[in-house]
Structure 1
Amino acid sequence: MTEQTELTDPPERSAGRTPGGLAEHRRTAAPAPVTRPVGEIRTAPWPRTFADRLTAPLPGVRALARLAREKAIRPGRDGLRDVSRLPYEPGPLPAVDASAVAVTWAGHASWVVRVGGLTVLTDPVWSRKILGTPPRVTPVGVRWADLPPVDAVVISHNHYDHLDAPTLKRLPRDTPLFVPAGLARWCRRRGFTRVTELDWWEGAELGGVRLDFVPAHHWSKRSLTDTCRTLWGGWVLSDGAGQRVYFAGDTGYGHWFREIGERHPGIDLALLPIGAYHPRWWLQDVHMDPEEAVRACGDVGARRMAPMHWGTFVLSAEPVLEPLTRVRAAWAASGRPREDLWDLGVGASQVLD
């Protein structure tokens, strides 16, 4: 699947369906969190498809035809004129000890998270270009050579802008990878030896840090024949002192946020996507807009929010700076303290008090 395919094959909204859609029944049916061994090779087969986890049906021919007519896949000239104003603020990674939590935005959904003494990468994409999309409009915010040793990588799903094979090739093959159900085989074929694949509400512990895989309103696809063959989701990273960072991955707005907050109370920081949302009729179920992201931050019970998934790759039709201006306005309208919105530039860092 190319990134172009991601934008032309997402689930579309179904008129009249209830919030939560196809997976609404799982709100009360989800099991309690389970701890799995790091690097476990699971012997029981996964389902052939995870399509029953979708919260909206996949699109039909009429939706595809409408998208083709509207030609609303990228911003026009006016929407691209502010590319030079996108915030790019590379700097050295902060020096922190094992008691601190620090995050650095490398761009898109790629973060360097320092938690519990570990360095964890989220959805690492250090490539200048990914399949089927224009090159990134801001450089990577952290040079690969400047990274400390990577203790773990978490992957939210298999779309090309979140699972980048050339970037993973840079890692030692014994780097622990934490991936959604069904994705371990892809990783092991590339030589990785410590791959832990998890279902929703499962977790694992590494070096005193717990990594819990939680639901998202999204989908998966990497080729023409593997739609929803692997799972998708977000991650809650918790250290021994109870400090928690929630990385949402790629998701639309919906009922899962409230349940994530109930099962993982006291989230200190939510890394939430705010971009790739227009046209709304096409992308609403799988990508939040800025106002929905602020609402999701409240639902999940997070004290602070750091926006992501904007200003790096041009994946949809909204003007490139619009996500930032809208999230700032939505945060102000919510009445929450301005200092709790960590609207970082690419390459910038913030340390949890």
Structure 2
Amino acid sequence: MVWKNPWYDATKAHHTPQGFRNPEADTRQQGDLQRWRKERKASGLPFPPAGGYDAFRQQWYQPAHLQGDDDAVWFLGHACIMLRLQQQVVLIDPALSPRASPLRFYGPKRHTPAPLAIAQLPRLDYVLISHNHYDHLDAPTIRQILKRFPDVRFVVPLGLKPWFTRQGARHVVQLDWWQQATFGDIQVHAVPARHWSMRTLKDRNRSLWCGWTVHSQTLRFWFSGDSGYSDNLLEIPRRLGPFNLAALPIGAWAPEWFMQSQHMNPTQAVALHRAAGCPLTIPIHWGVFELADESLDAPPAVLSQAMQAAQLDERLFSAWRIGESRALNFI
């Protein structure tokens, strides 16, 4: 029996009767995954960071500090961002487990520790999830959140609400691209991303993927989620900008012949940083899991080169330490 998309809207190009799709063409061909895996294994990729994993952690990791109640933002590793806005706490894509996998003993493992535990949070009001891949939607972390904060509100892309309901979540809002939800003074928009979804062998692209914007009285934040580059993304700052904070991915781009339709490279991230108005931008999707061919320490270096080539201010878009926070009093 063919699964039918219960949210299908024939007027929307990213909808199909069987699920969802990108408006952009998929550059991958049948057999490319096997080709990539074979080439990767033959070359022994990915290589360790230049100074080894211990040196990498010493340079790029610190425990997160939660003192104070002023507005602030934390980079918690990979794609996980935490915001404190008007004493409300927002977590985005919290994946804090030892592996990004449905299995405890197999799959991409963490090479830097999670800089905090859910048990350390004094409060949690909202959780935003960009899509259902295991490095962004981590079931053990979600269960910990629900145990400690049973009334937390989840905001998810179209098709993911049933998964959260099965976990016991009481408050779940699911949104399509360009739809919004308002919680007091905080407004959240789901925005397009060029990616895909799959959590089991039978559910490929049955739920949507997205980025998020978060607006408050002082903050205009764009979180891109996982995304390959597309000129279609320029519509986001046109509609919802200008932004004074962004989080854009800089990792898991190599090899580009295989990754380009799902992950952007640092040069493309710099182009989006410029299009967004050059806000303070947090580089995400790097430093924790080895998901592609580049080393863990390559994304910060390549980002620096790209910013210099574009003659842009590196203070506004350069790598943060995992666990680092900054006050949002610049806004």
Tell me if both proteins adopt one fold, taking TM over 0.5 as the criterion: yes
Which moves more between the two structures, 77-86 or 284-293?
77-86
Structure 1 residue 111: deviation in Å? 1.2
Structure 1 residue 219: deviation in Å? 0.7
Match of 2:159 in 1: 182
Which moves more between the two structures, 155-164 or 293-302?
293-302
User: Which of 190, 197, 208 is matched with 2:174 structurally?
Assistant: 197
Q: 1:275 to 1:304 in 2, by over 3 A?
A: same
Structure 1 residue 58: deviation in Å? 7.4
Match of 2:299 in 1: 323
Distance 1:58 1:294 in 2: 22
Instruction: Write out aligned runs for 1:106-145 (5 A).
Output: 106-131=76-101, 132-145=106-119
The code of the aligned residue for 1:118 comes to Q
SS in 2 for 1:293: helix
User: Which of 289, 300, 305 is matched with 2:281 structurally?
Assistant: 305
Structure 1 residue 258: deviation in Å? 1.2
**Contact 1:251–1:287, Cα closer than 8 Å, also in 2:** yes
Distance 1:74 1:309 in 2: 22
Distance 1:317 1:70 in 2: 10
Which structure would you say has the larger RCO, counting Cα contacts within 8 Å and 6 or more residues apart? 1
Instruction: Write out aligned runs for 1:336-351 (5 A).
Output: 336-351=312-327
Structure 1 residue 277: deviation in Å? 0.9
- Provide Cα deviations, 1:282-320, integer angstroms capped at 9, x if missing partner: 001111111111111112334121101111011111021
Match of 2:24 in 1: 55
- Runs of 4 or more, structure 1, over 6 Å off, are none
TM-score (norm 2): 0.86
User: Which of 319, 327, 335 is matched with 2:311 structurally?
Assistant: 335
The code of the aligned residue for 2:68 comes to A
**Contact 2:46–2:292, Cα closer than 8 Å, also in 1:** no
Instruction: Write out aligned runs for 1:163-312 (5 A).
Output: 163-171=137-145, 172-241=149-218, 243-312=219-288
Unaligned runs of 5+ in 2: 1-10
**Contact 1:118–1:207, Cα closer than 8 Å, also in 2:** no
The code of the aligned residue for 1:160 comes to Y
- Provide Cα deviations, 1:298-350, integer angstroms capped at 9, x if missing partner: 12334121101111011111021110111112122222223212521011111
Structure 1 residue 118: deviation in Å? 1.8
After superposition, the CA RMSD in angstroms is 2.3
Match of 1:84 in 2: 54
Q: 1:148 to 1:245 in 2, by over 3 A?
A: farther
**Contact 1:94–1:349, Cα closer than 8 Å, also in 2:** no
**Contact 1:202–1:212, Cα closer than 8 Å, also in 2:** yes
Structure 1 residue 103: deviation in Å? 1.1
- Provide Cα deviations, 1:246-299, integer angstroms capped at 9, x if missing partner: 111101111232100011122011111111111110001111111111111112
Distance 2:158 2:46 in 1: 38
**Contact 1:74–1:316, Cα closer than 8 Å, also in 2:** no
Distance 1:74 1:196 in 2: 43
Distance 2:311 2:120 in 1: 38
Q: 1:151 to 1:57 in 2, by over 3 A?
A: same
Match of 2:35 in 1: 66
- Provide Cα deviations, 1:190-233, integer angstroms capped at 9, x if missing partner: 11010000000001011310011000011111111111100001
Match of 1:105 in 2: 75
Q: 1:77 to 1:331 in 2, by over 3 A?
A: closer
SS in 2 for 1:114: strand
Unaligned runs of 5+ in 1: 1-24, 31-45
Identical aligned residues as a percent: 35
SS in 2 for 1:169: helix
**Contact 1:257–1:299, Cα closer than 8 Å, also in 2:** no
**Contact 1:211–1:236, Cα closer than 8 Å, also in 2:** yes
Match of 1:35 in 2: none
Structure 1 residue 80: deviation in Å? 6.8
